[in-house]
Structure 1
Amino acid sequence: MPVAEGVPQTLYDKILAAHVVDEKLDGTVLLYIDRHLVHEVTSPQAFEGLKNAKRKVRRPDCTLATTDHNVPTTSRKGIKDIATFIKEDDSRLQCTTLEENVKDFDITYFGLGDKRQGIVHVIGPEQGFTLPGTTLVCGDSHTSTHGAFGCFAMGIGTSEVEHVLATQCLITKRSKNMRIQVNGELAPGVSSKDVVLYAIGLIGTAGGTGSVIEFCGSVIRSLSMEARMSICNMAIEAGARAGMVAPDDITFEYLKGKPLAPVYGTPGWERAIKYWRSLHSDPGAKYDIDVQIDAKDIVPTVTWGTSPEDVVPITGSVPDPETFKSESKKAAGRRMLEYMGLTPGTPMQDIPVDKVFIGSCTNSRIEDLRAAAQVVKGKKKADNVKRAMIVPGSGIVKGQAEAEGLDKIFLDAGFEWREAGCSMCLGMNPDILAPKERCASTSNRNFEGRQGAQSRTHLMSPVMAAAAAITGKLSDVRKLTEYKASPHIEAYKLNTSTPGKAHADEAIEDDDTARERLGDQPEDSSPQVNTLVAEATGSQGLPKFLVHRGIAARLDRPNVDTDAIIPKQFLKTIKRTGLGTALFHDWRTKEDGSPNPDFILNQEPWTKAKILVCTGANFGCGSSREHAPWALNDFGIRCVIAPSFADIFFNNTFKNGMLPIAIRNATELERIATEAGAGREIEVDLPNQVIRDADGVEICQFEVEEFRKHCLVNGLDDIGLTLQLEDKIVEYERRVSANTPWVDGTAYLRRKGQGGKLAAKAVPVPTTNRGQPLKDPIDW
């Protein structure tokens, strides 16, 4: 329910309240979205849905696109177009499809020919597209990164990507408030990555489920924006819907001179600053969960298992699963050690590594590279380390690092200096590990197969990864380098710009027309809305979910992540269908490619299962990619029963006409699982909210939110429902454009002399059959 007037509010409460377009009695909120970031993996099906329904993108001025997941990070010297540069057919198709879509829908796009291209969660902040007090979404779970600016930012699935493109709104529910306070002072060698890994190890990967985490305390306030981004980036790994840090002078300093932020020194900047200073939690604001961490307890931290919660201090040893509390934890621990090729009791500093990766949306910014270079300078990569890769988060980061000479430091040490992209974080591009290779990685996930089939990943900070590259094994950076101050203070300096007119690149310095265009103010303050969107008010519809009966398969595993449900090599598709054969691929298939007879879905009668019963908690943790529910649905499983679900997966299933059921009563869940284990059918009666056995005997009842139930039973899609509230959306946009004009995309994209058109067009990238040269990027 809404927070009562006069009641102290959290930062999340304030931003949510400012973006409510409509709210139902059951608490369902129609939330307005200020910023939308788009990349090639989660958007093709969304744009296809718009085209099929003859819908437009409502706010192209508030949408920014780039390619990052699939792109090679090898040299782009002499690149003609993306179609000839990317060799893999499926990767190339996703990237060229995005380029066609941004042209068709007139969306601003940073392609490979544009130095502003990069990882989507790096380019948003560095362009000033991310601003305090805004709502921001992307079809990527690590959208939580942007919360470092006091922005409510969350990952969404492809159905929601389509919903935001069409309506600029989302249908959602209020999250719980969680606070993680980190007080004290970090010791030398300890960075923000260690802080967040320690916190995840403390609360677990499901500790923040259903919550928005606000990070605060003296340690957080002392961190730079880039260090805060690393922490918020991994809030999703704690199960949270989003992570946030209240904006302050450090935030405002970072935003000075950013191309899409209000122009520093103008009345617009001062007006924005005044509002941004109000974005903090009120004294006395209530939190549903409150976690206190003392900075002195945090040391350089690394992961040992296949979940971000499996952490130990670098001074520790590989744990013994037999000491874990529950049998399920013991079994999971044994599986992880077998997968990781580790023996209990082995000192972490005795574990050799094959490769090192410094990059990803967690740790690929200029400060991360500076910190790593501080460790590497004057040293050489160990002989047993086959490759050590430095992958900047954007072309701008790369250029800045080269200007500072960081590239030379890495190259002299035997490292590879790459182009911008997601790279080895998830292995959807050529940068992958070979089977059973071990990697010291600054990325955010260590799931099975995340960096390549049978790959073994240890998460850590940039300085720790750099130390591993130099020593050839997991190492305590404090022994390698004499620190006079903590890296987060010494190497993580503020990335400030010279105050003045914002500009995107050097072209403005000698281009009078470009400079004049950028300096112009918008002619009007009305939102740039495609007026045609109101014509498409019908719902495409979904299959109705009433009584679902079928064979149920039993799965006894906790923390079943989305990479396990469908490995990343099957994500290179521009369709929603055809993924059923890839469901649980690494568990269903042996190393030689033959079916694994021990896996339940390869056994009769479960090869025709329509319901999945998972006895372990936190089903669907990990990515916001909607491919996981698509794979289940395509296999024929429309209902998943488990003790608990990760938030984004839970939401994505409903968007696809599927029903996730949380059964928290252990006795009831075991009764259901016993029926499934016996190969008998189960009946799920949604209208009556009852689960029955094959004989029609009631096993238990279940809960489901009334609005979600209404949509499933009636086969309603969100876009059709939302467009019925067009008048409320228009009124909201009018009011916000007047009150916070710096958020309105027209403030930087619609300029005098442009005829009311976008000043930043999508850069045309011709397909190979046209044979045209790549045009120069258009400057802002």
Structure 2
Amino acid sequence: MPTAVSAPRTLYDKIWDDHVVTQKEDGLALIYIDRHLVHEVTSPQAFEGLRTAGRPVRRPDCTLATVDHNVPTASRKNFVSVTDFIAEPDSRAQCAALEENVKEFGLTYFGMKDRRQGIVHVIGPEQGFTLPGITCVCGDSHTSTHGAFGSLAFGIGTSEVEHVLATQTLLQKKAKNMRITVEGELHEGVTSKDVILYIIGIIGTAGGTGCVIEYAGSVFRGFSMEARMSVCNMSIEAGARAGMVAPDDITFAYLKDRPLSPKGEEWDRAVAYWRSLKTDEGAKFDIEVNVNAADIIPTITWGTSPQDVVAITGKVPDPSTMTDAVKRKSAERSLEYMGLTANTPMEEIPVDKVFIGSCTNSRVEDLRSAAKIVLAAGPGAKVAPNVHAMIVPGSGLVKEQSEAEGLDVIFKRAGFDWREAGCSMCLGMNPDQLAPGERCASTSNRNFEGRQGAGGRTHLMSPAMATAAALTGKLTDVRKYLGSVSEANIAAAPKLKELTAYQFLDAPAPPPEPITYTASGDLPEAEAPSTVEKFITVKGITAPLHIENVDTDMIIPKQFLKTLKRTGLANALFYTLRKDPHTGKDTDFILNRKPYNRSKILVCTGKNFGCGSSREHAPWSLNDFGIRCIIAPSFADIFRNNSMQNGMLPVTIPQEQCIVLAKDAEEQLEIEVDLQKEVIRRSNGEEISFTTDPFRRHCLLNGLDDIALTLQNKDSIQTFEQTRSEQWPWLDGFGYKGKKIPVNVSRGAPKTDW
């Protein structure tokens, strides 16, 4: 018999296939998770769930924790403890809770005393915790960053954080394959940030919904790992579940000899496997997008969505030219919020603040590109008067390397504020925030309303472009700092030392703090599925909403994320729409009006509801308000999943039908949603059909808990782990002292070094 030839597979197909533990007939799979990153914002409720159920962390050796979102980036010279250093009570509580949780559950933790502390998506690759071919998750949507290494990396909600901690697996449905190819030569001054902003401008923030994107073509092959990470980081802004670049010699050179990378013979075995992680010739993609590199010039955002992009040489768009009514209304809203007038040249827009940092652009390469613009501006270059410009390294090690190279001296001499590592002004959960009305040139990833501070206005761009804005005081084409004069200025400046990360990775770390943890790493015995609130039918008042791209920051602003509970968030729902920012009084927003303040259902006529963060706080706030069902033309993937984890039902129907239901809602007619029969009943008796994932429908109707269901697959998970250890032994918990942690035995705290 001739040997069967397998069909050509994509990079995503290969990694997915290698991680399926069990597969259901409806396509839902239990996949194994190789790496789990944890931070303070999305984990407290997950650890509390483990504690309540008496469950241990399944694989402490595959879990790495740090604090990043809440931490101040001011000098830590006098740092003693989190409780003394962090002034804001809720921020302090989240950071303190994580410190207690990692001690109780025996996890590797980079605390604020640790020079390795930083943004999760910077420290993972930096330490070699991120590797090709793995599955990697974190309670943060920008986990897609790690796909730059040829891994399947995506953000998850808090319920899923608990699921991974307890079982080291996740229930997932395979996404579609999408390939974005960029061929050709990039113009001078065009960076990876310009490339991804341009792509999002083409396909929109919902363009990748339901997909995993593979980035291909000569441009991505020529990018450094830092540049690839910036692109994959913003895949979520294009609506994708994840973004990936096939690993190659550039990847292997970056990873070799990192603290947690495989060593010796296992390195050779790993590289041999990693070289197989590329899309086969003839593999089919569901969606293909081709981009000519020559079409991209320095790009910037003008509105309140990452798809609101324009060339720096362009003008603010005119909503009156837009034919789609919902898009036109969204554009008008954006311009009003941003304080912009249609047809204003982008280079005439002044800025108040400049932020260079975030998990998108806070690595050494990013800071070097910013420093180069300062040098190109010539001796005596200074941040413009009335502009506050801050630079926040992505980790303590990035900061140390930058200082050793002399980058900090360049920045400080020019008037930039040089900070400590953290998420900083990317989302303003810490003291680094915009004041209402302030305009920021930012290297972060989101320009949502209030993202960097209530009433703050954000323009996304590359580090080089942000530096140019800092020096001129307005949005500026970075190419003005390129050319012969600029090269002469750089040549005349003192030569910078360009060092390697390896000169900093192995320096002494603080001694580990005591950990008390004795639980076994084995899975607990299978148990009967526990119950959560059932969803069978919901009937009642429905609130209409006519907004496109309703993002998670709009649903619940960042100041309400500092909670250790899942409840008490009803007043936070759509807070910036429900409260006047100047007076604090209630506005005329739909949920403030009777009878809509008692709504059980929300119908949105705009597409892409729930885009943005993977944080579960958005569905928590809706649920707490009393809304059990959201009807919309389309949903962001993570929001849809998070809603169902909380006993809520997201219903997708055509936009025309959403408009019909919104009109019913405006007439205060009740609507009934019947999940059992999968129909929406209007008051006139008409029924609108919808479909739901069979497994999720079963769980909602019966109020079943995912973790308890997964634990019924205990034997399959343990069998998978045994095979995994044989095939990819480098994935089994290397500790920071080079000791390997055996699988399926008790893992004492001394095995992992803080």
TM-score where L is the length of structure 2? 0.94
User: Match for residue 405 of structure 1?
Assistant: 406
Query: Cα–Cα, structure 1 residues 44 and 751, in superposed 2: closer, same or farther, change >3 Å?
Result: same
Amino acid at match of 1:575: K
Q: Does 1:627 align with 2:656?
A: no
Residue number in structure 2 paired with 1:87: 87
CA shift at 1:257, angstroms? 1.5
Shift of 1:464: 0.2
Question: Secondary structure, in 3 states, of the residue corresponding to 2:731?
Answer: coil
Using a 3 Å threshold, how does the CA distance of structure 1 residues 613 and 428 change in structure 2: closer, same or farther? same
SS at match of 1:215: strand
User: CA shift at 1:105, angstroms?
Assistant: 0.3
Deviation (angstroms), 1:454: 0.6
* CA deviation vs aligned residue, 1:706-748 (integer Å, no higher than 9, x gap): 1110000010111001000000000000000011001111576
Change (3 A) 1:38 1:761: farther
Residue 520 of structure 1 corresponds to which residue in structure 2? none
Residues 448-496 of structure 1, C-alpha deviations (whole Å, 9 max, x = no match): 000001100000000000000011110011112327999xxx9999985
The 2-side partners of 1:24 and 1:421 are apart by 41
For 1:196 and 1:596, how far apart are their aligned partners in 2?
Answer: 38
Q: Assess, with a 3 A threshold, how the Cα gap between structure 1 residues 483 and 361 changes in structure 2: closer, same or farther.
A: farther
Aligned in 2, Cα 1:379/1:254: closer, same or farther, shift over 3 Å? farther
Aligned mates of 1:453, 1:150 — CA distance in 2: 37
Q: What is the rounded CA distance, in whole Å, between the counterparts of 1:385 and 1:14 in structure 2? A: 53
- Provide the residue aligned with 2:681 in structure 1: 692
Which residue, 309, 312, 330 being the options, matches 1:311?
Answer: 309
1:700 is paired with a residue whose SS is: strand
On the 8 A contact 1:66/1:117 being kept in 2, the answer is yes
AA in 2 matched with 1:333: A
Residue correspondence of structure 1 range 216-231 to structure 2 within 5 A:
216-231=216-231
**How far 1:195 sits from its partner (Å)?**
0.3
CA distance in 1, matches of 2:528, 2:200: 43
Q: CA deviation at 1:688?
A: 0.5
d(CA) in 2 for partners of 1:148, 1:470:
32
1:745 pairs with 2:733: yes
- 8 Å contact kept, 2:520–2:747: no
Equivalent residues of 2:118, 2:394 under 8 A apart? yes
1:742 alignment partner, SS class: helix
**Partner Cα separation in structure 2 for residue 531 and residue 269 of structure 1:** 26
Residue correspondence of structure 1 range 166-565 to structure 2 within 5 A: 166-263=166-263, 266-377=264-375, 378-482=379-483, 504-507=505-508, 530-531=520-521, 533-535=523-525, 537-565=527-555
Alpha-carbon RMSD: 2.4
> What residue in structure 2 maps to residue 701 of structure 1?
689
Q: Which residue of the partner structure matches residue 661 of structure 2?
A: 672
How far does residue 240 in structure 1 lie from its aligned partner after superposition? 0.2
Match of 1:124 in 2: 124
Residue 570 of structure 2 aligns with which residue?
580
In the superposition, relative to structure 1, how do residues 282 and 531 fare at CA in structure 2: closer, same or farther (>3 Å)? same
Name which of 648, 653, 675 aligns with 1:663.
653
Matches of 1:649 and 1:20, distance apart in 2: 23
Are the structure 2 counterparts of residues 341 and 752 from structure 1 closer, same or farther at C-alpha, using a change threshold of 3 Å?
A: closer
Whole-angstrom distance in 2 between the partners of 1:606 and 1:359: 41
Instruction: Name the SS for the 1:52 alignment partner.
Output: helix
1:533 Cα deviation from its structure 2 partner: 3.2
Q: Deviations over 1:291-320 (max 9, x none)?
A: 000110000000000000000000111111
Deviates more, 1:591-600 or 1:326-335: 591-600
Q: Which residue number corresponds to residue 628 of structure 2?
A: 638
Distance across 1 between alignment mates of 2:612 and 2:436:
22
Percent of pairs identical after alignment?
63
Cα 1:494/1:179, change in 2 over 3 Å = farther
**Any conservation in 2 of the 1:190–1:298 contact (CA below 8 Å)?**
yes
CA apart distance, 1:668: 2.4
Task: Tell me, in whole angstroms, the C-alpha distance in 2 between the residues paired with 1:387 and 1:709.
Answer: 51
Report SS of the residue matched to 1:186: coil
Q: Secondary structure of 2:177's match? A: strand
Using the alignment, how far apart are the partners of 1:288 and 1:756 within structure 2? 44
Write out per-residue CA displacement over residues 122-150 of structure 1, whole angstroms, 9 at most, x where no aligned residue: 00000000000000000000000000000
- Distance change (3 Å), C-alpha of 1:16 and 1:188: same
Shift in CA distance, 746/415, structure 1 to aligned 2, threshold 3 Å: closer
Partner of 2:137: helix, strand, or coil? strand
Distance 1:363 1:151, change over 3 A: same
Note closer, same or farther for the CA distance 1:466–1:379 as it changes in structure 2 (3 Å cut): farther
Q: Which runs of no fewer than 5 residues in structure 1 stay unpaired?
A: 515-527, 763-777
In the alignment, the residues of structure 2 paired with residue 593 and residue 610 of structure 1 have an alpha-carbon distance, to the nearest angstrom, of 28
Q: Alignment partner for residue 719 of structure 1, among 707, 712, 715?
A: 707
How many residues matched? Answer: 735
Alpha carbons 2:94, 2:563 under 8 Å: kept: yes
Could you tell me which amino acid in structure 2 is paired with residue 634 of structure 1?
D
- Amino acid paired to 1:334: E
Q: What is the letter of the counterpart of residue 327 of structure 1?
A: A
1:734 maps to which residue?
Answer: 722
Q: Which deviates further from its counterpart, 744-753 or 180-189?
A: 744-753
Distance 2:633 2:291 in 1: 28
In the alignment, the residues of structure 2 paired with residue 425 and residue 270 of structure 1 have an alpha-carbon distance, to the nearest angstrom, of 39
Against the structure 1 CA distance between its residues 415 and 167, is the aligned structure 2 distance closer, same or farther, given a 3 Å change threshold? same
Query: Secondary structure of 1:617's partner?
Result: coil
Listed one character per residue, the Cα deviations across residues 245-273 of structure 1 (whole Å, up to 9, x for unaligned) are 0000000000012100012xx11111000
Closer/same/farther in 2, CA of residues 603 and 493 from structure 1, 3 Å limit: farther
Residue type at the aligned position of 1:470: L
Residue identity matched to 1:150: G
Measure how far apart 1:442 and its partner are. 0.1
Q: CA offsets per residue over residues 576-633 of structure 1, 9 Å max, x none?
A: 0000111000000112344444211011110100000000000000000000000000
Q: The residue matched to 2:730 in structure 1 has which SS?
A: coil
CA–CA separation in structure 2 for the residues paired with 1:586 and 1:597: 9
Report the Cα offset of residue 759 of structure 1: 7.0
Equivalent-residue separation in structure 2 for 1:127 and 1:302 (angstroms): 32
Alpha carbons 1:183, 1:219 under 8 Å: kept: yes
SS in 2 for 1:507: coil
Distance of 1:456 and 1:497 partners within structure 2:
35
The answer to whether the Cα contact below 8 Å between 2:741 and 2:747 also exists between their aligned partners in 1 is: no
> Which digits, 9 at most, give the CA deviation of each residue in 1:209-239, with x for residues without a partner?
0000000100000000000000000000000
Is the contact made by 1:188 and 1:484 (CA closer than 8 Å) also made in structure 2? no
Distance (whole Å) between structure 2 residues aligned to residue 170 and residue 563 of structure 1: 26
Alpha-carbon displacement from aligned partner over 1:487-515 (angstroms, at most 9, x marks no partner): xxx999998566xxx9943239xx9x99x
**Closer, same or farther: CA 186–397 of 1 in aligned 2, 3 Å:** same
Question: Is the counterpart of residue 611 in structure 1 residue 581 in structure 2?
Answer: no
Other-structure match for 1:602: 592
Given that residues 401 and 504 in structure 2 are in contact (C-alpha distance below 8 angstroms), is that contact kept between their aligned partners in structure 1?
no
- Contact 2:734–2:741 under 8 Å retained in 1: no
Supply the distance in 2 between the matched residues of 1:436 and 1:242 (Cα, whole angstroms): 33
Query: How far apart in 2 are the matches of 1:753 and 1:308?
Result: 42
Aligned to 1:768: none
Shift of 1:328: 1.2
Aligned match of 2:147: 147
Task: Describe the superposition over 1:364-414 as per-residue Cα deviations: whole angstroms up to 9, x where unpaired.
Answer: 000000000000123433433431000000000000000000000000000
For residues 254 and 521 of structure 2, what CA distance do their matches in structure 1 show?
Answer: 36
Q: Judge conservation of contact 1:737–1:744 (CA < 8 Å) in 2.
A: yes
Query: What is the identity, as a one-letter code, of the residue corresponding to 2:307?
Result: E
Structure 2, unaligned stretches of length 5 or more? Answer: 513-517
Label 1:308 to 1:485 Cα distance change in 2 as closer, same or farther (>3 A): farther
Specify the code of the residue in structure 1 equivalent to 2:255. Answer: L
Q: CA deviation at 1:5?
A: 6.3
Range that drifts further, 746-755 or 11-20: 746-755
